[in-house]
A and B are shown apart, each in its own frame.
Chain A
Amino acid sequence: MPKIGHHPIPAKAGIGLRFPHHQAVADTRPAVAWLEVHTENYMGGGTPLRCLEAIRRDYPLSLHGVGLSLGSAEGLDVAHVERVRRTVDRLEPGLVSEHLSWSVVGGTYLADLLPLPMTEEALAIVCRQVDQMQAYLKRRLLIENPSTYLRFRHSTIPEWEFLARVAGRTGCGILCDVNNIYVSACNHGWDASAYLAALPPSAIGEIHLAGHAVRKLEDGHILRIDDHGSRVAPEVWKLYAEALARFGPVPTLVEWDTDVPPLEVLIDEAARAAAVLDEADRERACAIAA
Chain B
Amino acid sequence: MLRSVVARDDAKAGAHVVADGIEPAARLGIYRNTFASVLTNALRLSYPAVHRLVAAECFEGTARLFMEEQPPQCANLDEYGTGFAEFLARFPPVAALAYLPGVARLEWAVNRALHAEDAEPLNVARLAALTEDEQARVRLAPHPGVGLVRADYPADAIWRAVLDEDDAALASIDLASGPVWLLVHRAETGVEVSRFTEGAWWFSAALFAGRPLHEAVAEARCTDSHAVLAEHLAAGRFAGFSLAETS
Contact = CB atoms under 8 A, between A and B. Distances in A.
Contacts of B30: 149-150, 223, 225
Contacts of B78: 40, 43-44
Interface residues of B, number: 40
B31 A153 contact: no
B39 interface: yes
A237 to B, nearest CB: 24
A239 B221 CA distance: 71
B178 interface: no
Contact of A153 (B17, B26, B190): B17
A109 B118 contact: no
A223 B39 contact: no
B144 interface: yes
Contacts of A223: 22, 26-27, 30
Interface string B2-22: 100110000000001110111
B130 interface: no
A40 B72 contact: no
Interface size class of A (residues with CB under 8 A): 35 or more
Contacts of B23: 219
Contacts of B22: 217, 219, 221, 223
A192 B99 CA distance: 55
Contacts of A189: 20
Nearest to B27: A150
B17 A108 contact: no
Interface string B167-199: 000000000000000000010001000000000
Nearest to A188: B20
Given A77-B75, A111-B38, A112-B34, A44 B117 contact: yes
Contacts of A152: 16-18
B77 interface: yes
Contacts of B75: 40, 66-69, 77, 80, 103-104, 109
B71 A108 contact: yes
Contacts of B16: 117, 152-154
Given A153-B17, A153-B18, A221-B22, A108 B116 contact: no
Interface of A: 40, 43-47, 49, 66-69, 77, 79-80, 83, 103-112, 114, 117, 149-154, 188-189, 217-219, 221, 223, 225
Interface of B: 1-2, 5-6, 16-18, 20-24, 26-28, 30-31, 34-35, 38-39, 42, 71-78, 114-119, 144-145, 186, 190
Given A109-B75, A223-B27, 4 more contacts: A45-B144, A108-B2, A110-B1, A223-B30
